[in-house]
A and B are shown apart, each in its own frame.
Chain A
Amino acid sequence: MSDIKKPQTKPSRLGMVIDIDKCNGCGSCMVACAVENNVPPVPQAAGERKAITWLKVYRVSNGQEFPNHRTVFIPVSCQQCGTHTPCVSVCPQQAVDVDPQTGVVGQMPERCLGCRYCMAACPYHARYFNWWDPVWPAGMEKALNPAVSPRMRGVVEKCNFCHGRYHAARAKAAAEGRTELAPGEYLPACAEACPTGAIKFGDLADQGSEVSQMASGEQAFRLLESLGTESKVYYLTRQPWVRQLAATPLKNGREEKHG
């Protein structure tokens, strides 16, 4: 029997908690995400349904009239479903999987054949299809993030909690003789860029982590919770109408009224 010890890593459940009451809709998270993941600028004529936005901030309102009208911003990315992951079960190419170590739902564009079943299955509209070649204005390709390859036309892509950053952090930890990451050592670009601190990221399986405690609070909820997808993106708000809204699908529109 071999006496070589394999490094043991405690399984984690990486997740996000987004405080809607703190989000001011500035869009820094969307831009940071696009820069980090080399999301190309699609042609303007593409239309909203053909554009690629791994993280999209929706503006929704309570439907009241002035001056009682209130609006909130809800950043929505892949919700990293924990069980019955719809996109995994429909993919004929095994191009989608759930990492047992982190719980992150991964997407392998090399395996994707572009059937878009996963897009149809995703209840959060968080998956995007590359309708065009990824092309940047002349010269701007020099400013791409070297850690992430642009995806080709004809495949689906989505948020993966910036797994390039995750692997870089793990490699750094391993080089320092550690098997675990310290809290905050790895952050997705959106969480890092959020100027109001509305987006928190961490290990939901760690009972002592900030995100775990926030996610178990009374103000926490998840989108379309009744579907039982056990998503790992939680939201916080003190406004009851926003929690009610979370139980209904967000339309792909400019502003949605819910009352």
Chain B
Amino acid sequence: MAIISRRDLFRFAGGAAVGTMLSPLPWKLLDDVSIWTQNWSWIPKPPKGAVSFKYTNCTLCGSGCAAQVRCIEAEPVSLAGIRSDIGLGFLCPLGLVAHHLRYHPDRVTQPLVRAKGDELKPSSLDDATRVVSGKLQRLAQQTQPSDSYLAILGNRPGTAGSDALLALLARFPHAAYVGCPNDGDGVSVLGSMVEGDQNWALDIANSKMVLSFGAPLLEGWGTSGRMLAQFASSDRKTRLIHVEPNCSLTARAADVWLSIQPGSEAALALGLANVLIEAKLVDPSVTCPDLEVDSPYRKLVAEFSAERVAGLTGLKPEVITQTARAIAQEGPALVISRGYVSGPVSRAEELAIQGLNFLLGNLDRPGGALARPSPSQSQVAGPTPASQPGPGVVRALAAIPDGSVELLIVDASSGNDLPPWAAVQPKLSPDQAVVVVLAGLPTAWAQRADVVVPSPVFGEAIEELPGNVDDTANSLRLSARLVDPRPGLFNLLDFVNHTAVAAGLATSPVSYEDAAKQKVAAIHQAGIGNVVSPADGQAKAVTDYSSSDELWTALAGGARWENAAPEAIKPATRRFSLAGPDSGDVERMRKAAAQRGGLADVAPSEYPLTVVSAEGRAYDSKVSPLLAKITWESGLHAERTCMINPATAAKQGVLAGTTVTVQTPSGSLDVPVTLSEEIMPGVLLLEDPTGEDQSGLMTGTDATCRVMPGRLEVA
């Protein structure tokens, strides 16, 4: 009988272990355990269902790019640009993931109300309505001239919703409806210099040459797709001269980049005007009393010789002369400016810049500035034309007396910029002001609010898009309602209507959608213009639509109505003023040019640096989490930073990544430092610090500023 020894047991166990290891068993077990722990019920499964396509226009910025939306059942799953539309197939990263916004983890889903001094707390619509309607009632009943204002931020002139709201505001003795800063603010100044009430646009698409005073053409300006198609290519047909201190994307892509000292734009514009006039390069068709020798404008221009401007701008005198000759002889060049993108050139600087367009004969010329017909001229006015505001409705922030606003309603739901808090705060009544913010996603404005009202985000509501600075045709575009919205969301007009009804000030006011429908009905009745299909780019005459409902269905489905400016409204000769519409404008231009936008007012020893704001790619909380991830990972669109030249950083004793306090005479802001050789030495570049900036860093005496004297300290 064989005896099983202990050794045999060990040998068996060892052999079994080795044998098992050589069998698939442990490996399969390992594999399965691995797979079991990799797959869980919470791992999402993509949706299944019928595929369909819808069309819309994006509302996340002023570009209003057309988009094709792929849907599974009713759910949008991707967006793509449409080549045949004005955006030429472009969708920016924001637009490509716009359909994610409704699922943003920080989405505002119910009203928030702040008790005195407390945090915002979830509340009911009734509570929010009670707070606002009580104020509305009081403001509507006041009669004294010194009484308080109802102020609303978010006017989009020319849109049916804004027109309807203006009609409602006319019932208040003191009301203000202030527009959003936008790229077209420069051309608005041009319009103010021309006699008559016209809405002007820039025919950039047909221009041979563009002289850009800081307009961020490649960073997002005007109709972004159109600008990129025209200017991003190195074999472009339009020559670009770009004026900007720093080496931005647009500067680097330009045919000529004029790197001038910050704030010296007005000086350069007047210097160019000087050369144009003295060298007799003014367009021969231009006639204007301001060109006579003794006129205040001629005297102003005469002060800015190429030599003097060279000292102010840092350019060589011959560069200024050559540039003036180029824009007159190789163009004519269309002169554009940045507008309010992240802080305006002051109005005085804008006047000096826009004066060049008049000298170059750019009015009413293809490739120049063209007048769009106003709604009343093209017979497509909405229910209440913008030309009939209430007697007490003011349109500019500066026109509102300080300390007078008792109820401020801010439309933070759209993609447009808003004025900075520091410019608005002085207007508020110190004791009684209530700030109401409509927002779909948390914004810095919402942090200042006493009441936050949830509003729709992209795809949840029909919204009318205002025309762009480069849209020369009168047009109407709507963003489509792609999905059923959550209950309890309000856009600006509907919320004001709702509270006005609660206050007993209105019984059945026109809703936003009804106002838009009335405008479409007016277009149908007038029978003018064409409707361009987003699916194939084919145009169909309005007269071919059998009813206004049919036309509405087409437009609410992403189609675009447009009507080119009729020749009949163009006068033979327009009267304009190079000296500006107001009596003190020449003096303001002189001061702005000589003092580099006010920089010279401050002692260099106290503020040795120049703070410049720029169109930011600093995406904030209002974007899809997917976009936030990608931009953060790539480092292309980082968080807000202060960019400075390494040489400046060395002088100031700061390192990359250090958090510094940037100080200007109007405020301070803590930001991390990024070093870049693209920044002019001595300059601090802050990406978009004014849009929702609460620090007041770039807030001047009347509005936001593009350049400010500044200094930095390690925080």
**B93 contacts A by Cβ under 8 Å:** yes
Most B CB within 10 A of own CB, among A67, A69, A149: A67
Bound-complex Cα distance A150 to B89 (A): 28
> How many angstroms from the CA of A254 to the CA of B91 in the assembled complex?
25
- Per-position binary interface string of chain A over residues 8-44, scored 1 when its CB falls under 8 Å from any chain B CB and 0 otherwise: 0000000000000110111110111011101101101
Q: Please tell me if the beta carbons of B630 and A28 are within 8 angstroms of each other in the complex.
A: no
Q: Is the CB of B225 within 8 A of A25?
A: no
- In the complex, what distance in Å separates the CA atom of A249 from the CA atom of B638? 23
User: Which of A53, A155, A192 touches B633 (beta carbons < 8 Å)?
Assistant: A53
Chain A contacts of B257 at CB under 8 A? 67
In contact, A195 and B225 (Cβ under 8 angstroms): yes
Whether the Cβ atoms of B92 and A195 lie closer than 8 Å is yes
- Interface residues as binary, B231-248 with A (CB distance below 8 Å gives 1, 0 otherwise): 011100000000000010
Within 8 Å of chain A (Cβ to Cβ): is B330? no
State which of B31, B43, B225, B633 has its C-beta within 8 Å of the C-beta of A48: B633
Cβ A143 vs Cβ B77 within 8 A = yes
List, in ascending order, chain A residues with CB within 8 A of B23's CB: none
Within 8 A of A (CB), among B175-222: 218
A41 touches B626 (CB 8 A): yes
Q: Evaluate contact between A133 and B47: CB separation under 8 angstroms.
A: no
- By the criterion CB–CB under 8 Å, are A34 and B630 in contact? yes
CA distance A88 to B638 in the complex (A): 35
Q: Tell me whether A86 is interfacial, beta carbon within 8 Å.
A: no
A28 to B679, CA, bound (A): 25
The answer to whether A69 touches B234 (Cβ under 8 A) is no
Candidate in A36, A38, A255 with the most chain B CB atoms within 10 angstroms: A255
Are A59 and B234 within 8 A (Cβ)? no
Whether the Cβ atoms of B249 and A143 lie closer than 8 Å is no
A137 on interface, CB distance cutoff 8 Å: yes
CB within 8 Å for A57 and B80 given contacts A22-B232, A143-B75? no
Q: What string of 1s and 0s marks CB contacts (under 8 Å) between A62-91 and chain B?
A: 001111011101000000000000000000
**Are B629 and A41 touching (Cβ within 8 A)?**
yes
* Stretch in B97-105, B113-121, B390-398, B698-706 with 4+ CB within 8 Å of A: B97-105
What secondary structure prevails in chain A residues at the interface with B? loop
B533 to chain A, nearest CB (A): 20
Q: Which residues in A have their C-beta under 8 angstroms from that of B635?
A: 48, 59, 253-255
Chain B, 624-677, CB within 8 A of any chain A CB: 625-638, 645, 647, 676-677
Is A61 interfacial (CB 8 A cutoff)? Answer: yes
Given known pairs A28-B91, A193-B81, the reply for A59 and B636 (CB within 8 Å) is yes
Which A residues touch B152, using CB under 8 A? none
| Residue among B40, B81, B228, B247 making CB contact with A24, cutoff 8 Å | B228
- B48 located at the interface, meaning its Cβ lies under 8 Å from any Cβ of chain A in the complex: yes
Question: Does residue A135 face the partner (Cβ distance < 8 Å to B)?
Answer: yes
User: Could you say which of A27, A39, A144, A193 contacts B637, with CB atoms under 8 Å apart?
Assistant: A27
Q: For the complex, is B577 an interface residue (Cβ under 8 Å from A)?
A: no
When the two chains form the complex, which single residue of B40, B249, B625 contacts A137, counting CB atoms closer than 8 Å? B625
Q: Is B512 an interface residue (CB 8 A)?
A: no
A145 in contact with B78 (CB, 8 Å): yes
Q: Which residue of A lies closest to B74 (CB)?
A: A142
Task: Report the minimum CB–CB distance from B487 to chain A (whole Å).
Answer: 16
Cβ contact within 8 Å between A146 and B97:
no
Q: Which of B38, B77, B228, B638 contacts A154 (CB 8 A)?
A: B38
**Distance A193 CA – B103 CA, assembled complex (angstroms):** 23
| Cα of A58 to Cα of B636 in the assembled complex, Å | 8
The complex places the Cα of A94 from the Cα of B645 at a distance, in Å, of: 50
Chain B residues contacting A39 (CB-CB under 8 Å) are 626
Give residues of chain A (129-178) contacting chain B, Cβ–Cβ below 8 Å: 133-150, 152-155
A196 at the A/B interface (Cβ < 8 Å)?
yes
Count chain B CB atoms within 10 A of each CB in A73, A139, A238 and give the residue with the most: A139
Pair B43/A31 contact, Cβ less than 8 Å: no
Taking a contact as CB atoms under 8 Å apart, the answer to whether B678 and A69 are in contact is yes
Assess whether B259 is interfacial by the CB under 8 Å rule.
yes
Q: Of the candidates B81, B88, B626, which one forms a contact with A34 in the assembled complex, judged by CB atoms under 8 Å apart?
A: B626
Q: Which residues of A contact B414 (CB under 8 A)?
A: none
**B676 — which chain A residues lie within 8 A by C-beta?**
69, 255
CB of A196 within 8 A of CB of B233, answer yes
- Other-chain residue from B43, B234, B628 in contact with A21 (beta carbon distance below 8 A): B234
B636 touching A57, Cβ below 8 Å: yes
Cβ of B561 within 8 Å of any chain A Cβ, yes or no, is: no
**Given A51-B633, A149-B46, A64:B677 Cβ within 8 A:** yes
Q: Is the CB of B105 within 8 A of A137?
A: yes
Are B47 and A53 interface neighbours, CB within 8 A?
A: no
- Chain B residue with minimal CB distance to A147? B46
The CA of A196 and the CA of B519, in the complex, are separated in Å by 35
| Distance in angstroms between the alpha carbons of A230 and B583 in the assembled complex | 70
B5 within 8 Å of A (CB atoms) = no
Once the chains are docked, how many angstroms separate the CA of A11 from the CA of B26? 42
C-alpha gap A65/B681 in the complex (Å):
10
Give the docked Cα–Cα distance between A255 and B38 (Å): 35
Contact B634 A57 (CB under 8 A): yes
Chain B residue nearest to A28 in the complex (CB): B93
Kindly report which residue of chain B lies nearest to residue A38, judged by CB atoms: B46
Are B629 and A66 in touch, CB under 8 angstroms? no
Q: Is B444 an interface residue (CB 8 A)?
A: no
Chain A residues whose CB sits within 8 angstroms of the CB of B218 once the complex forms: 24
Q: How far is the CA of A40 from the CA of B374 in the complex (A)?
A: 47
- 7 residue pairs bridging A and B, Cβ less than 8 Å apart: A28-B96, A31-B97, A31-B630, A48-B633, A133-B40, A134-B44, A195-B224
In the complex, given contacts A26-B92, A34-B626, what are 13 additional A-B residue pairs having Cβ atoms less than 8 angstroms apart? A21-B234, A30-B93, A30-B634, A31-B630, A56-B634, A133-B40, A136-B103, A146-B47, A147-B46, A150-B46, A192-B80, A195-B89, A197-B233
Residues of A within 8 A of B (CB): 21-22, 24-28, 30-32, 34-36, 38-39, 41-42, 44, 48, 51, 53, 56-59, 61, 64-67, 69-71, 73, 113-114, 133-150, 152-155, 192-193, 195-198, 238, 253-255
| Interface residues, chain B, with chain A CB atoms under 8 Å away | 31, 34-35, 38-40, 42-49, 72, 75-78, 80-81, 88-93, 96-97, 99-100, 102-105, 218, 224-225, 228-229, 232-234, 247, 249, 252-253, 257, 259, 625-638, 645, 647, 676-681
